[in-house]
Amino acid sequence: MVRFDNVGLRYGMGPEILQDLSFTIEPGTFQFLTGPSGAGKTTLMRLLLLSLRPTRGVITLFGRDSSLLDKDALTAMRRRIGVVFQDFRLLDHLTTYENVALPLRVQNQREESYRSEVHELLRWVGLGDRMHALPQVLSGGEKQRAAIARALIVRPELLLADEPTGNVDPTMARRLIRLFVELQRSGTSVVVATHDLGLMEQFEDARRLVLGGGRLHIYD
Amino acid sequence: MSGFHAIRDLSLGRRDAEAALVPKGSIGGRALITVVAIMTFLSSLAAGGAVLVVQSSQDWRAAISREATVQIRPSPSRNMEADIKAVLKTLDATPGVTEIRTLSKSDSDRLLEPWLGQGVNLEEIPVPRMIVLKTSATPRVDFAKLRDAIATAAPNATLDDHRLWSQRLATMANTFVVIALVILALLVTAMGLAVSFATRGAMAGNREIIEVLHFVGASDGFISRQFQQRFLMLGLRGAVLGAGCAAFIFFLASIASRRMIATPSGDQIEALFGSFAIGWVGYAAIATIAALSAAFSGQTSRMVVYRKLRSLT
């Protein structure tokens, strides 16, 4: 599903912050991406999301060389990827419901076709009574759950989550990770970037991608 | 959204899922509405003025083209009365001539009064005699044939079918239309630039929204349509305002010209512009300009956004 071959990245003329990354992510797998602050976790997530181009190496996504994708192909690719940002990136002028429904709306789906599905997912993440609230009045945890619901609503083939449990209590964190594991069992590949060692220990079967000094160490 | 859901959500201050993705407050809406209103107002005035001139010119030309004049110059070797009779006989036999009026000697002399003044003895001056004829639309008079026939009947007589005047009026009216089109083109260019700048500003202000839309799988076309809808609505408001003002001014002018009938200045205006009313054609032109202004605003915005997004790597 995802293949990195000798991928390196530098910003401008600066040092290479990611070096010689070579790994694959197979369909239906679950992996934690971890490492100290500033190790490049978010940068690697952005490479996976194709919002950054590597300065060297080849990234193959869903069987296609990312450097050869035109804009339409990139759009089609992103519709197969769900993403949870560390800073949530909810649109402030849209309600929780509208934010979660956004990935379906941009695909020109009719609201009648997805309304019940969005309601159900919002109830599941505990935002059933906050559907019509704007992000400004949501707590950090509620925003995070809304961002997760937005990533899940399209049933993505690849889910990228950057610190998805950073603002929720441990119970909700476990619940969300279990949801990700359920998704993985239904065929979705999941990459969760986190600092939370305690959380990772609770899911010992998960693969670990550890970034340090610009290089990636994999623990299957 | 069903009626029940809509009423319930409205009562709770909720909105449906089709809320605008480009927030209202993120665009300099009032400034853009004012610019579009001014441009549409000026365009409507130019179009209405052109319609007014073209309609008046058509009236003038219709009146002129239905009339012709035969001028018989006096000559010592010719008998004026005999020539007049010969020309009248020719005119009577010509199909399409509906009315013939021979100006008397005193009528012809009176035509010279504006130039020579009153009390001048014109007996010594060889004043031509005039015959005015009116023609029908069908059958049309064959003026070339008539001109030959008159020249045969009275060699001193000439026929003036006013074609020169008609051509000059047509040229003048066409010049006004061209000027109006040039003004329209300039205004459209200015409006396009204003919308383009406003769109770029809106894109910069909504950069994060555009980024999120891209990440959730929105195509460039989808995003540019969101801007198009927003600018279409702003353009529509400005266009309705500008065109409404222009239409109101033409309406007031037509009422004022009607009230001035039978006054000296009113007669002058009526002689030039008829009733000074642009009619349904003029109002339709203004409505069309308003619709096109709004559509142009939306389309320009869409193109600017689309091109900008396509150029991003």
The number of folded domains in chain A is: 1
Question: Is A116 a domain residue?
Answer: yes
User: What's the whole-number mean pLDDT along residues B206-216?
Assistant: 93
What are residue A217's DSSP bridge partners?
Answer: A210
A78/B17 Cβ within 8 A: no
- Contacts of residue A94 in chain B, CB cutoff 8 Å? 19, 21
Instruction: Specify whether the backbone of A80 is left (phi greater than 0), alpha (psi in -120 to 50) or beta.
Output: alpha
pLDDT band at B122 (very low <50, low <70, confident <90, very high): confident
Domain that holds residue A110: 91-155
Low-confidence spans in chain A with pLDDT less than 70: none
Does the CA dihedral A181-A185-A186-A191 come out positive or negative? positive
Asked if residue B91 has pLDDT above 60, the reply is: yes
A89/B212 Cβ within 8 A: yes
Selection from A196, A118, A192 nearest residue A152 by Cα: A118
For chain A, the first-to-last Cα distance in angstroms comes to 17
Domain ranges for chain B: 21-62+166-311, 74-155
- Contacts of residue A62 in chain B, CB cutoff 8 Å? none
From the list A72, A98, A102, which residue is nearest B219 (CB)? A72
Task: Name every residue whose Cβ is closer than 8 Å to that of residue B158 and which is 6 or more positions away in sequence.
Answer: B70, B71, B73, B147, B150, B151
CA distance B11 to chain A (A): 12
pLDDT of residue B5: 43
Instruction: Specify whether the backbone of A145 is left (phi greater than 0), alpha (psi in -120 to 50) or beta.
Output: alpha
* Residues A84, A61: Cα–Cα separation, whole Å: 18
pLDDT band at B212 (very low <50, low <70, confident <90, very high): very high
- Find out whether B72 and B90 touch, Cβ atoms under 8 Å: no
Q: What is the ipTM of this complex?
A: 0.89
**Residue of chain B whose alpha carbon sits nearest to that of A72:** B219
Question: Is A51 a domain residue?
Answer: no
Q: b or e along A77-103 (b: 16 or more beta carbons within 10 Å of the residue's beta carbon)?
A: bbbbbbbbbbebbbbebbbbbbbbbbb
Question: Is A141 a domain residue?
Answer: yes
Q: Express as a percent the part of chain B with pLDDT over 70.
A: 89
pLDDT of residue B236: 96
Q: Is B19 on the interface with A (CB under 8 A)?
A: yes
Q: Is B9 on the interface with A (CB under 8 A)?
A: yes
DSSP secondary structure string, B31-68? HHHHHHHHHHHHHHHHHHHHHHHHHHHHHHHHHHHTEE
Query: What are the pLDDT digits (tens) for B124-164?
Result: 778 889 999 988 878 888 888 999 999 999 999 999 888 78
User: What's the whole-number mean pLDDT along residues B7-12?
Assistant: 40
CA distance B29 to chain A (A): 17
Question: Is A214 a domain residue?
Answer: no
What are residue B157's DSSP bridge partners?
Answer: B72
Cα separation values, B128 from A70, B109, B114, B164, Å:
85, 9, 16, 21
Q: Express as a percent the part of chain B with pLDDT over 90.
A: 48
Question: Is A39 a domain residue?
Answer: no
- Contacts of residue A83 in chain B, CB cutoff 8 Å? 215-216
* Residues B124, B130: Cα–Cα separation, whole Å: 18
Residue type, B199: T
Question: Is A60 a domain residue?
Answer: no
A51/B217 Cβ within 8 A: no
Question: Is A189 a domain residue?
Answer: no
- Contacts of residue B21 in chain A, CB cutoff 8 Å? 91, 94
B217/A78 Cβ within 8 A: yes
* Residues A103, B24: Cα–Cα separation, whole Å: 21
Q: Is A108 on the interface with B (CB under 8 A)?
A: yes
- Pairing outcome for strands B67-72 and A81-84: unpaired
pLDDT band at B74 (very low <50, low <70, confident <90, very high): confident
- Contacts of residue A108 in chain B, CB cutoff 8 Å? 222
Average pLDDT, chain B: 85
Asked if residue B250 has pLDDT above 60, the reply is: yes
Least confidently predicted of A31-40, B5-14, B59-68, B72-81: B5-14
Asked if residue B53 has pLDDT above 80, the reply is: yes
A115/B14 Cβ within 8 A: no
| Chain position carrying tokens 């009947």 | B153
Helical ranges in B206-219 per DSSP H: 207-215
